[in-house]
Structure 1
Amino acid sequence: MAATSLDQLDRSKKHWKIMVRITRTWEVFDFEDGDKRISLDLILLDTHGNQMHATVPEEDALKHERVLQEGNICIITNFNVGSAKKFLRPVNNIHRIFFKWDTVAKLMNDQSNNFPMYMFSFKTFNAISSGYEETQNATDVIGILISMSYIKEGTPSVSKRRDIIIQNERGHQLKITLWKKKSLEIGEDNIRTFDIAPIVVITSTSVTFFNGVYALSSTTATKVYIDLDIPEARPLEEIIKCEGKKTQLLTMPFVSSYDDDVLDNLDIKTLQDMISALDKKPSMGTMYTCKAKICEVLHDFKPFYYSCGKCVRKVIRKDNNDWYMIRIQVEDSTHSISLVVFDKLAEKLILDPVEKLVDMEKQDNGSELIKEELKKLIGVSFTFEIKITPFNLKDKNKSFTVSKIFHINRDIQIGGIHENVQKDQIVIDQQDNDCSEENVLISKMVTSDKTNTKFDTNDAPNDRSTLTYKSKRIKRTTYKK
C-alpha cells in the first residue's frame, strides 16, 4: 500500500499508511497530578509540507518512544483519524491522528536529507498585537532574544515562569512567558555561551491580552529553537552582525509590547498640570499620565521591605519575600515631585531583582553599596501613570505612587544590540498588588487586584481562557535538513 499524504487523511476509512518526519514531540500531563503523563504528542510532517498533530496514549507510548524521536522519518500504519482540538491547535489541520494499541511505527532505513525538517506558520508582531478573535490555531514567532528573566519560582496559585523579550527586524518587541517545564528550554548558562544575541523560534504559543497589551504564553506544545538555519533568520542575522555586541543576560521580567497607536494617544500631563489638579479636588482614583526624568534617589527609607506573600503588610521575616519600595524625585520643565515605585515596576527601572540589594545590605558597607547601585537611575526618563489616593488629597501631598510604566528612555546594551530604548514600546503594570506609599508606611492591608491566569494545563491555556484576536496573514514555510 502506497503512503498517503497528510492532507488526504480523513475519517472515511480505518487503514492508512503515512511516511512522515517527527518534527516535534512533547509530553502531556494530568491536570490534577502534574507528575502523571497521559500521552506523548507529536507533530508529523510529510514530503509535501503538510502537518498533522498526533497523540500516543501513555499505555502505548513506551513501545513507540525509540522510534518516535524528533527528526526521525517513519512509516506509520493502522491508526485512527479524528477531529483536531477546537482551540489552540499546534498546527493548522482539522484532523488529528490517534495511535491505537496495534498501531505500527517503523523507522525508515533511508533518513534522507531531502525530507523537510521543519515547518512554521510565523505571524508578524503587528498581526499579534492588532487584536484577534481567532482562538483556533496556536502562534509561531521568530525574533532576536534581547532579554530574558531568571525563573520566577511558583506559588500554590501560580506556576514557575520565565519571561523573554524578542525583537523583530523593525525593532518592535514582544514578551513571551514560558511556563513550568517550558521555562527550562532556554537557560542562563546557554545565554552566557553566545558571543552574539541568538535568534529564537518559539512555536505553538497562545495570545494573551491584559490592560490593552498583547503578549504570548507557552502551551504544552511549545518548543524553543535557537539559531536555526532558515530564511526568516537572515534579516535578523544582518541586524546582529551590524552591532556585533556580546549577549547580556538581564533580569527584565513582566515586560510587554505596546502599540505605537496606544502610546501616541496617551493624554500626557505636565507635572504642574497634575499638581494644579489637586486644587480642584479630583475624585479618588483619578489617574494621570506624566513623563519626567529622575533627578534624585531619596534614601529616607530602605529601598525594600519584607512583606506578607498575600498582601503588602509588613511582617516578621521568616523566608525570602522582599519587595522593592524605592522613592525618587522626578522633574520635567514645569515642576518636580516625589514618586514611590514598588516591586516589579522598580525592578524594571533598576534592571536587577530585589534579592541583589538584600544581599548587598548584608555586607559591611551595604548601605553605601546600595546607594551607589541606585545612582544609575539618575537621568532616566520614563512615562508613568499615578492614581490619586486619599493620601494625596489630604493636605495636597505631592508624593505619588506609580501604578504603571509605559515607556523608559535610556541608552542600554541588551542582547548584543545597542538600543535607544526611546524607540521601544514598553508597559509594566503594578499587577501583583495595588499598593501605595501610605499603605506600606502605616502597614495597612491592601486588596490585591492582580489577575493571575494559570496557563499550564494539559494544553495550557485552558480552552476557557480569554483570547481575543482575528485572523491575519500567516506565512507557511518548510525547511529541509
Structure 2
Amino acid sequence: MHRTARCKADIDFLEEEYPAYPTTINDEILHEHVERVGKLLLGPKNVTTANKVMAGEDFGFYQGVIPGVMFGIGIRNEDLGSVHSPHSPHFFLDEDVLPLGVALHTALAEIYLNNQWESVDKKDLRIESQDLNMAEKEYTRIKEIKESNGNYKIKVRVSRIWEAIDYTTNTVKSLDTLLLDEHGDQIHAKIPSFIIGKYKPQLKEMQIYHIEDFSTLKIFDNVTYRPVNHPYIIKFKWNTIVKPNREFDTQFPKQQFDFVDFTKVSSRKDNKHLTDIIGIVSTWSQPVEQKKKNNTVSTMMELYLKDERNNSIQVTIWGENAKIIKDWILKNSSGKTVLIITSASISEFYGSYSLSTTSATKVYQNSDIQEIANLKNRYILKMEIEDNTATAMATLFEQEASSLLQKSAKELLTMEENGTEIAEKEFGRLIGHTTIFQIRVTRFNKEQNNNSLTISKIFPVNKIDNTEQNQKDNYDATPSDNASRNTKITHQITHHSKAHLDGTVATIIEDSNNTNDGEDEQPPTKRICRTNEDNQE
C-alpha cells in the first residue's frame, strides 16, 4: 500500500488498549454435554462437529474466565431466502428455528443442573460427613496413576505451589503444584489460568486434601523441565473437587526431594527433569537487577554450594529467592547456611556445569528438615599422613571420617559433652596406624604445589602386620589388590588399617579433631583420580 501511495505509514494496533481476541476453545466436558443432549433432542443425524475457522470471536473472553461452549443452530429455508451467512447483507432469519433453539438451551441447562446437583450434592454430603477420612483402599496411590482421564480419587499433601510464567508475554499460564501422597510418591498438577481464581484460595502449602474429578494427561517423552519423575500430569477442571482433610496425620511426609550428587549433575544437562540439590553456602554475591533473555528485569545473585565431600557448584538465584537467601545468610552469619534448592535447570559452559533457579524453584533452610540437619552436623578430620616418600596434610569429610572412626558426628558430640578427653582419646587411636586411601588431587594442588589432599574413599582391610617385610609388600600392592583380599569391615579396622597414597602406603602420624574453622580451600575445578604415578583424569 505504501508503495502505491508513495508514502510511509506506521500502524499501531493499540494492543494494550484493545487486546487481541483470544482463541475460542470449547470446554471438553461441556462439548460432550451439548453433543449428547442435542442428539437426544434432535436426533443423532442432526448434530455434527463444525470445522475449525480462523475467525475472531469475543466469546473467547468469557471462556478465559469460566468454562464455556459455543455452538450454532443451523437454518436453511430457500423459500424464504434464508440461505446466507449471518455476516452477509442478505442474511434473513427463519424464525421457525427459534423454538428449537429455546428447547435446546432449556434441555442443556436442565439436564446439566440435574446431573450436577445429584453428583456434587452426594459428593459433598459424603465428604462433609463423619466419614471424611475414607478407607485407604478408596484412594489411588500416585504411582498407580497410569491412564489418561482415569477415574481417580487421591489423598495428597500440597508440598509446593508456584505460578508457571509465559516469559514471552510475562503472564501466568497456570498455577502449578506438587502433590505428595503418604507413600512419598509425587505428581505434578496444573490449574489452568481461567480457574486459578477458584482454586488458589483453597490450596495451601503443607495442607492435606481429598481431590477427585480431575484429568490425567500422559507426558510426551520430549517434554523437558519436569519437576518430578512421573509419566502423567494432573490437570484441574472447573468441577474438580478439592476438600481439606481434617485429620492430623503425623505420618504423612511433608516434603520429598530427589537430590543429585554434585559430581553427577552433568548427566542431567538435557533438563528432561529439573534438579534438586543440597549444600553449604561457601561464597555468594550481592543481589543485583539483571536483564533476562526475554528483556524483563529480575533480581539475581550467584552463590557457590559445597557438598559433604567439599565438591563445589555454582548456582544462579533469580527473583524473590535471591532476597530470601541473602536474608538467611546475613541472619546466620555466625554459622553454616545449608540450602535446599529445588527444581533448578542445568547449564554447561566449556565443560563446566552450573544451576539456575526456575519459576518452580522453592528454597529451604529449615533445620527441622532431616537432610539439612545431617549436613549441618557433619564433621571434618584434618591430619598429617606419610608414606615412604613424603608427608602431606589430608582432609576427611564426615562420610569417610565416620568410616574410619566408626563414629557419627552425633556420637562424637555426645563424647564432647561427657568430656573432651574421651573424644580426644578416640582420635588418638588413629595415630601410628595405616590405611588404604583414595585421594582427590585437584588442579589447585598441581599448579600451586599445594600438598593438602582430600580423601575421597577408604578401602576396608583387616588388621595388618607392621613388620618391615610386610610393610614393604604392602607398599607394592595396589588398592584393588588389597581391597579384593580384605572386604570384611570390623571395628578393629579403624585402628589397624592401611592407606594408599599415589600407589603407596601412608601412615597417620598426627591427627586433629578441629572442625572447619571457616578457611575454605579453593574449590576444585577438575577432579583427578590418582591410583599410581600416572594421573588418570
What TM-score, normalized by structure 2, do the two folds share?
0.45
Which structure shows the higher helix fraction? 2
* Larger Cα-atom Rg: 2
- Structure number with the higher strand fraction is 1
Q: Which has the higher contact order (CA 8 A, sep 6+)?
A: 1
TM-score, length basis structure 1:
0.50
